Amino acid sequence: MFKRILIANRGEIALRVIRTAREMGVECVAVYSDVDDCALHTRMAHVAVPLHGVTPAESYLDMDKILKAAAETGAEAIHPGYGFLSENAEFARRVKAAGLAWIGPPAEAITVMGDKIESRRAMAKANVPCVPGLTDPVDDVAAAVKDAEGIGYPIAIKAAAGGGGKGIRIVRDPSEMESAFRQASGEAVSAFGDGRLYLERYIDNPRHVEIQVMCDSHGNRVHLFERECSIQRRHQKLVEEAPCCVLTDQMRQDMGEVALRAAEHVNYEGAGTVEFLWEKGEFFFLEMNTRLQVEHPVTEMITGVDLVREQLLVAAGEKLSITQDELKIHGHAIEVRINAEDATQGYLPSVGILHNLRAPGGPWVRLDTAMYRHMEVGLTYDPMLGKLIVWGPDRISAIERMKRAIAEMNVGGVRTSMPAALTVLEHPRFVSGDIDTHFLESLTIEPPKEHDILVAAACAIYRHNKAKRSAMDPEASSREEWKERGRRERSGYARRLMERGGQV
């Protein structure tokens, strides 16, 4: 096993990796931007290295800076978390070329699965059922109209290099094709630098069901059952659960076997997720995410498997610690993402300073977050502040436990997506399991009550007065005190590591 790894990420996923690594006796190197100079992941790591810069391009996406930090701190491997460089094949190759272990799948698998057209071709060869559509890019509008007639409307135009819902347009009539094609191509070029498009049939009311897989370099492969991720808006998930309440045991087995076949075809290693669209008992391959997923905790809760631990074992050349026969589903788990967004205003980003925090407790409640009091929430990075996860012996008890946990949770200073999640959990259709990928967008999230508005106004006044006091006496700023405390803690970790003979 490694002695020290570098985590090329921030926020709650960096903390998540650090916690498991510490339990395994592995030291951790954190990296951070100027915005994150007092972030929690810099305190919990053994060593924290500044990347400098503010934007992702200047910090967490700068391969040279991250590789330099790994070399200077003696890290033996790099864990990319999710987002940023986690699905960048070039970075995976550079990590290996630098003599480091890459805690992720082979670069070749990332390349194939990261391109929607290449992945469809590969899955067709592996006899994995795909949504009816093209396996070659379409060149122009006229060709698209002709191909769409053979596929059948409605049609989804998709970017070959796409992700996160970008470069996608839905066409229900040939007259809409020209405008949709042009918009999708332009968005694809802007977002990915790649304007290639392909067509597939648009499934109107599917469920989004994904299978967690884990593979090692010794030929061992397991699936850890499914996650239901249909509660989403603009292809961004809000509520996830495991298992899916409509799958039969036979369907679950069939989907798991197909997911493993997909992984085997690309010689996959490590943690990955094979995503499917499910409708009326049929399922079709959507894509494969070649990294750890945000929603991985619900799988951990129903299986008792630490997925980060398995990632580290695989990257170190060891065998998986689990076999398919040993894996069983126990109970039901639900995850709610805590995003800094105002759901009553079309999920607009919410910014501010977290002046108050209260975490829920009780049995089988887990909070994965990097939030702390006085933390400034801005627009530089993803709006996700954390994830609230609960487990129950069955789905109904898990729903009730999540509702109670949300009621206890308090994030003061910004609007969050939790009211939207609560609206979902209380809806009769969700409780009955009658959901699809359009369910969340069909809901109306109620605006805040008068009491909430008064509280928000009082908080704004508090922040204004606090800012005035800080301007008059900078030394009195609690935020500056927090930063200084973080610097002291980091230097303390470094000193103790030096005393033990470690390299900093």
Query: Poorest-confidence range of 10-14, 147-151, 419-423, 489-493?
Result: 489-493
Distances (CA, A) of 296 to 17, 31, 153: 12, 23, 34
Give SS3 for 170: strand
pLDDT in tens, 364-375: 999 999 999 999
CA distance 261 to 305: 22
Max avg pLDDT among 56-70, 106-120, 151-165: 56-70
Q: Which pLDDT value is given to residue 450?
A: 47
| Region 171-182 average pLDDT | 95
- What's residue 214's pLDDT? 98
Q: What does the block give as tokens for 286? A: 């959507």
Tens digit of each residue's pLDDT (9 = 90 or more) over 286-311: 999 999 999 999 999 999 999 999 99
Residues 6+ apart with CB under 8 A from 314: 214, 215, 216, 217, 269, 270, 320
CA distance 113 to 421: 31
Average pLDDT over residues 121-136: 92
Q: Is 291 a catalytic residue?
A: yes
The confidence score (pLDDT) of residue 503 equals: 43
Average model confidence (pLDDT) for the chain? 90
Q: Which CATH number fits domain 117-130+204-330: 3.40.50.720, 3.20.20.150, 3.30.450.20, 3.30.470.20?
A: 3.30.470.20
Catalytic residue from among 291, 401, 415, 490? 291
pLDDT at 313 over 90: yes
- Going 60 to 10 to 38 to 95, the CA torsion angle's sign is negative
CATH number at 132-201: 3.30.1490.20
CATH class given for the domain over 4-103+486-499: alpha beta
State pLDDT tens for residues 234-248: 888 999 999 999 999
**Spans of all domains in the chain:** 4-103+486-499, 117-130+204-330, 132-201, 338-447
pLDDT band at 116 (very low <50, low <70, confident <90, very high): confident
> Is 171 in contact with 149 (CB distance < 8 Å)?
no
pLDDT score for 427: 97
Domains 117-130+204-330 and 338-447 share a fold: yes
Q: Which tens digits make up the pLDDT trace of 257-283?
A: 999 999 999 999 999 999 999 999 999
What pLDDT sits at residue 502? Answer: 45
pTM of this structure: 0.86
Quick one: pLDDT at residue 79? Answer: 98
Which is higher by pLDDT, 43 or 492? 43
Q: What is the pLDDT of residues 59-78, one digit of tens each?
A: 999 999 999 999 999 999 99
For residue 451, what pLDDT band results from cuts at 50, 70 and 90? very low
Q: Please give the class, per CATH, of domain 338-447.
A: alpha beta
pLDDT at 504: 39
pLDDT at 501 over 50: no
If pLDDT is split at 50, 70 and 90, which confidence band does 473 have?
Answer: low
CA distance 77 to 79: 7
Return phi, psi of residue 11, to 5°: 65, -150
Closest CA to 133 of 96, 93, 161, 160: 160
